[in-house]
């Protein structure tokens, strides 16, 4: 009924052959784990092979994105804003100032403006070297997060920010380059104070 032949005992692998095959499979699996999986998934490259294959860079990007997603989540869940530094021009008048912040590799900062709904602020920021990831957003007691703009590996950004509601409106930066950067933020517009949140 079946055409398959049952192998004889002599054709079956011996216990020694099974042990050797298992050992070889284990070595291959460990080699793949170290040279491919760890660099591609976690940016860990003990041998240097992953970087030469371009896998380590992929893993580093995944880790950056995961870390930034955690930061974004923390920003959205942040119940109150702690005022660390502030400047307080008159609410009804147009304010103009320049603010600088220095970040080491991997460090982050957040600066926000207290603005009334429909108030406008012209802004321009740039880094002196390297690059940063940024998130321009707003919040208040009712709104945990409102995004305006985001970018990765950016050296500058400019535009007009119009407040969609009364609250805090500003920028989150993270230094993703391998050198210390200084961000210079130039502002002109209607806001009551500048707050260094982080």
Residue-wise pLDDT tens digits, 6-49: 766 677 778 888 888 899 999 988 888 888 888 777 778 888 88
Tell whether 61 and 109 lie within a shared domain. Answer: no
Bridge partners of 120? 162
The CA distance from 149 to 162, in Å, is 12
Q: How far apart are the first and last CA of the chain?
A: 77
Q: What phi and psi values does residue 143 have, to the nearest 5 degrees?
A: -110, 120
In a domain, 9, yes or no: no
Tell whether 98 and 160 lie within a shared domain. Answer: yes
Give the structural domain span for 53: 14-75
Nearest to 187 by CA among 130, 125, 142: 125
Question: Half-sphere exposure of residue 25, counting CA atoms within 13 Å on the CB side?
Answer: 6
What digits encode the pLDDT tens for the residues 87-101?
443 344 578 899 999
In a domain, 170, yes or no: yes
Tell whether 105 and 152 lie within a shared domain. Answer: yes
Q: Is the pLDDT reported for residue 76 higher than 60?
A: no
pLDDT score for 180: 94
Report CA torsion sign: 7, 10, 15, 21: negative
| pTM exceeds cut of 0.75 | no
Bridge partners of 152? none
Which one has a higher pLDDT value, 173 or 1? 173
In a domain, 154, yes or no: yes
Which one has a higher pLDDT value, 125 or 71? 125
Tell whether 120 and 162 lie within a shared domain. Answer: yes
In a domain, 188, yes or no: yes
Tell whether 67 and 90 lie within a shared domain. Answer: no
Tell whether 68 and 90 lie within a shared domain. Answer: no
- Number of independent structural domains in the chain: 2
Tell whether 99 and 26 lie within a shared domain. Answer: no
């Amino acid at each position: 009924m079946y055409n398959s032949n049952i192998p004889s005992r002599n054709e079956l692998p011996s216990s020694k052959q099974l042990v050797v095959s298992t050992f070889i499979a284990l070595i291959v699996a460990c080699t793949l784990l170290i040279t491919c999986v760890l660099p591609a998934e976690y940016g860990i490259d003990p041998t240097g092979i992953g970087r030469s294959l371009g896998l380590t860079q992929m893993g580093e990007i995944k880790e950056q994105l995961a870390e930034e997603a955690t930061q974004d989540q923390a920003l959205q869940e942040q119940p109150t804003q702690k005022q660390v530094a502030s400047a307080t021009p008159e609410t009804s008048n147009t304010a103009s100032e320049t603010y600088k912040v220095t970040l080491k590799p991997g460090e982050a900062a957040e600066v926000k403006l207290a603005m009334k709904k429909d108030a406008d602020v012209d802004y321009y920021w740039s880094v002196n070297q390297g690059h940063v990831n940024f998130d321009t957003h707003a919040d208040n007691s009712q709104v945990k997060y409102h995004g305006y703009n985001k970018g990765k590996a950016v050296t500058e950004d400019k535009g007009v920010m119009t407040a969609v509601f009364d609250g805090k409106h500003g920028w989150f930066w993270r230094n993703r380059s391998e050198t210390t950067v200084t961000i210079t933020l130039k502002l002109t517009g209607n806001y009551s104070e500048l707050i260094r949140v982080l």
